[in-house]
């Protein structure tokens, strides 16, 4: 355990205690976030004057949780609040002029607040100004020099990189707006007339959006996610409780990995293949019947998403099998007619992980390509796309993920420009994923105490991966392929004793049968809950 902590640069008592026992009391003060006071003052005036407030969100988990959080908080504060979540295919990403003319104006909104979007929506903000509507931008995506002329822009990415709130997801920024606004209203004696909301109860939404958006789980995000997981395990919202049941998550045992691989894909499925309103209905469901229906809907949409995703992956695999030279470059750019824009981001992520290189997947329809880009550690894909700007119609995102629009006639130029950009930005040789071993750990040394100590390092995610161990001379006494590419095994080290450990290895390129011997394996340890019983399972990340 000491080796694991040292490998995370936690070498002082203070640093170790802060990491193992993150507290909401240690969050950076809200007044450190530029624009927050101006935003709070304007929202206060809207509450006093009973102005209609319109929240513009996004169609992914981060955007949906941001919208739900702010809508719930402003409602508790007595606000006249409505929201709009865009349809991915019909409207596309971001705050747009049409949202002013077709949504805000008909609803007679006096104030627009964006969440998880808006930092590049200059035209939409100007359109709102012409109609006499003020705009407050809250976002976490990368800022350009040409910021929208909103009344207030609240985005930690617009400050210096060392700002403690720089890693926040969109829902984290929305949460900080709620913190700052609650404080501002307290100073105005606003809560003398109504109960003051307990913001800790909103941390469940912060945890969902933060983990799903794959931002760093260190610093401020570690504190927020840890608190949010406690809330989700202690008293989940009705819709989330039903969704956890549908995913087979044991009550009180939800982890960040469960959010990443079980909850988030289902919540995201609404915005990918239908409308994000279905996910919003789950988060705001009040009764059991409503919650059950919303959970069933998301599971059905996720099944449809999986089918579409597999069809695209099969088509790409066939193309790469016929043209293997396409994998020889520093990146992979592929386009296909009719590839669903709501699913290509997942496909890009899987290919980036499989081939360990930046990937752009583009769905083409009527001469317009809508693409999703995913990167690998060591390469900022947003900076790479900035170098490709002359051939792109538009783009946005952050270091590991981005979206873009490109004319079908420019896809070939984009491929060449992206290859050149990646080559110039590449940080060292990225021939394969780095395997950073925490320490060597024989199976005989795996004890219940070690498992409990490792649990204190959670939540695992970006910036804080689960500890990775190495074992030598390992034999798989039994192995069977489950699903399409997963290998379930019973492992032992004959030279080190008779300890046998259950193990699984995901997404193998080749199937295996019978008894297999490994010179070395890299593996992580996790608790497995099944039928009320707890066991330890090794997840094999690499083997030779």
Mean pLDDT within 368-390: 93
CA 347 to chain centre: 15
Note the pLDDT of residue 399.
83
Note the pLDDT of residue 56.
98
Structure confidence by residue, pLDDT tens digits, 482-506: 876 788 999 999 999 889 999 999 8
- CB-based contact 56:118 (threshold 8 Å): yes
DSSP code per residue over 227-287: HHHHHHHHS--HHHHHHHHHHTPPTT---HHHIIIIIHHHHHHHHHHS-THHHHHHHT--S
- The pLDDT of residue 400 is above 80: yes
Report the b/e string of 269-297 with b at 16+ CB within 10 A: bbbbbbbbbbbbbbbbbeeeebbbbbbeb
Mean pLDDT in the chain?
Answer: 93
* 135: Cα within 13 Å, side-chain hemisphere: 31
Mean pLDDT within 177-202: 97
Q: How many CB atoms lie within 10 A of CB 330?
A: 17
Note the pLDDT of residue 378.
83
List the single range of 86-95, 180-189, 411-420 with lowest mean pLDDT: 86-95
- CB-based contact 12:5 (threshold 8 Å): no
Q: What are the tokens at 488?
A: 């379930």
Strand partners, 374: 359, 401
Structure confidence by residue, pLDDT tens digits, 250-305: 889 999 999 999 999 999 999 999 999 999 999 999 999 999 999 999 999 999 99
Note the pLDDT of residue 482.
84
Taking the C-alpha atoms of residue 441 and residue 190, their distance in angstroms, rounded to an integer, is: 57
Structure confidence by residue, pLDDT tens digits, 81-98: 999 999 998 998 899 999
Q: Answer with the residue of higher pLDDT: 127 or 379.
A: 127
Report the b/e string of 76-92 with b at 16+ CB within 10 A: bbebbbebbbbebbeeb
Torsional class of 514: left (φ above 0), alpha (ψ -120 to 50), beta (otherwise):
left
pLDDT band, very low/low/confident/very high, at 428 (cuts 50, 70, 90): very low
Query: CA–CA distance from 363 to each of 88, 320, 494 (Å)?
Result: 13, 17, 51
Rounded percentage of the chain residues whose pLDDT exceeds 90 = 84
pLDDT band, very low/low/confident/very high, at 514 (cuts 50, 70, 90): low
The DSSP H or E segment spanning 488 is strand 486-492
- CB-based contact 538:491 (threshold 8 Å): yes
Q: Answer with the residue of higher pLDDT: 241 or 400.
A: 241
What string of H, E and C letters represents the secondary structure of 456-478?
A: CCCCCECCECCCCEEEEEEEEEE
- The pLDDT of residue 413 is above 90: yes
Note the pLDDT of residue 544.
84
357: which DSSP letter? S
Q: How many CB atoms lie within 10 A of CB 377?
A: 12
Closest CA to 56 of 100, 8, 105: 100
- The pLDDT of residue 476 is above 70: yes
Taking the C-alpha atoms of residue 45 and residue 67, their distance in angstroms, rounded to an integer, is: 20
∠ Cα 30 32 37 (to 5°): 65
Note the pLDDT of residue 543.
87
Note the pLDDT of residue 434.
65
Q: Answer with the residue of higher pLDDT: 155 or 511.
A: 155
Note the pLDDT of residue 429.
47
Please list the alpha-helical segments (H only) found in 367-496: 381-386, 411-425, 448-455
Structure confidence by residue, pLDDT tens digits, 28-81: 999 889 999 999 999 999 999 999 999 999 999 999 999 999 999 999 999 999
- The pLDDT of residue 432 is above 70: no
524-530 LR contacts (CB < 8 Å, sep 24+): 524/466, 524/467, 524/468, 524/469, 525/446, 525/450, 525/451, 525/454, 525/466, 525/467, 525/469, 526/257, 526/466, 527/451, 527/455, 528/502, 529/250, 529/253
Taking the C-alpha atoms of residue 281 and residue 237, their distance in angstroms, rounded to an integer, is: 12
Q: How many CB atoms lie within 10 A of CB 188?
A: 13
Q: Are strands 52-56 and 109-114 parallel, antiparallel or unpaired?
A: parallel
Q: Answer with the residue of higher pLDDT: 427 or 24.
A: 24
Structure confidence by residue, pLDDT tens digits, 96-112: 999 999 999 999 999 99
Which domains, and CATH codes, for the chain?
Answer: 27-198 (3.90.1640.30), 323-425 (3.10.310.30), 439-543 (2.40.50.460)
Note the pLDDT of residue 433.
61
Query: CA–CA distance from 7 to each of 15, 312, 438, 459, 471 (Å)?
Result: 13, 39, 7, 17, 18
Note the pLDDT of residue 34.
94
26 burial class (0-12, 13-18, 19+ CB within 10 angstroms)? exposed
- The pLDDT of residue 3 is above 60: yes
CA 174 to chain centre: 15
């Amino acid at each position: 355990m000491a080796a694991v902590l040292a490998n995370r640069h936690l070498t002082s008592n203070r640093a170790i205690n802060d990491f193992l026992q993150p507290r909401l009391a240690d969050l950076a003060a809200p007044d450190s976030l530029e624009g927050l006071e101006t935003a709070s003052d304007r929202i206060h005036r809207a509450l006093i004057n009973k102005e209609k407030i319109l929240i513009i969100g996004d169609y992914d988990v981060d955007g949906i949780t941001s919208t739900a959080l702010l809508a719930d908080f402003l409602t508790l504060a007595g606000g006249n609040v409505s929201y709009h979540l865009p349809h991915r295919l019909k409207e596309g990403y971001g705050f747009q002029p049409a949202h002013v003319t077709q949504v805000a104006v008909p609803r007679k909104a006096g104030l627009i607040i964006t969440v998880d979007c808006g930092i590049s929506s200059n035209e939409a903000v100007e359109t709102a100004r012409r109609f006499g509507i003020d705009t407050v931008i809250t976002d976490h995506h990368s800022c350009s020099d040409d910021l929208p002329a909103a009344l207030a822009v609240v985005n930690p990415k617009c400050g210096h990189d060392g700002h403690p709130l720089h890693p926040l997801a969109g829902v984290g920024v929305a949460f900080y707006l709620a913190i700052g606004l609650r404080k501002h209203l307290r100073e105005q004696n606003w809560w003398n007339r109504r109960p003051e909301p307990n913001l800790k109860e909103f941390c469940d939404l912060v945890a969902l959006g933060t983990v799903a958006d794959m931002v760093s789980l260190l610093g401020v995000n570690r504190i927020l996610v840890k608190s949010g997981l406690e809330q989700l395990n202690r008293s989940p919202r009705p819709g989330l409780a039903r969704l956890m049941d549908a995913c087979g998550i044991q009550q009180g045992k939800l982890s960040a990995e469960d959010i990443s691989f079980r909850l988030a894909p289902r919540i995201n499925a609404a915005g990918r293949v239908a409308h994000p309103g279905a996910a919003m209905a789950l988060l705001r469901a009040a009764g059991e019947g409503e919650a059950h229906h919303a959970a069933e809907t998301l599971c059905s949409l996720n099944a449809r998403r999986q089918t579409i995703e597999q069809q695209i992956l099969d088509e790409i695999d066939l193309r790469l099998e016929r043209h293997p030279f396409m994998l020889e470059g520093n990146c992979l750019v592929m386009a296909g007619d009719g590839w669903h824009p709501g699913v290509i981001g997942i496909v890009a992520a899987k290919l980036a992980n499989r081939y360990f290189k930046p990937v752009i997947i583009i769905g083409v329809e009527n001469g317009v390509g809508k693409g999703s880009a995913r990167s690998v550690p060591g390469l900022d894909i947003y900076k790479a796309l900035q170098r490709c700007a002359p051939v792109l119609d538009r783009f946005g995102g952050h270091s590991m993920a981005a979206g873009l629009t490109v004319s079908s006639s420019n896809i070939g130029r984009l491929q060449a420009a992206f290859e050149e950009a990646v080559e110039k930005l590449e940080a060292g040789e990225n021939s394969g994923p780095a395997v950073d071993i925490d320490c060597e750990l024989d199976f005989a040394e795996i004890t219940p105490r070690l498992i409990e100590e490792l649990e204190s390092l959670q939540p695992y995610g970006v910036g804080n991966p689960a500890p990775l161990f190495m074992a030598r001379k390992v034999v798989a006494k039994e192995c069977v392929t489950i699903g399409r590419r997963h290998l379930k095994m019973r492992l032992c080290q004959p030279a080190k004793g008779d300890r046998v450990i259950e193990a699984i290895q995901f997404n193998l390129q080749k199937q295996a049968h019978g008894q297999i011997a490994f010179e070395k394996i890299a593996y992580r340890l996790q608790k497995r809950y099944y039928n009320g019983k707890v066991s330890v399972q090794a997840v094999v990340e690499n083997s030779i």
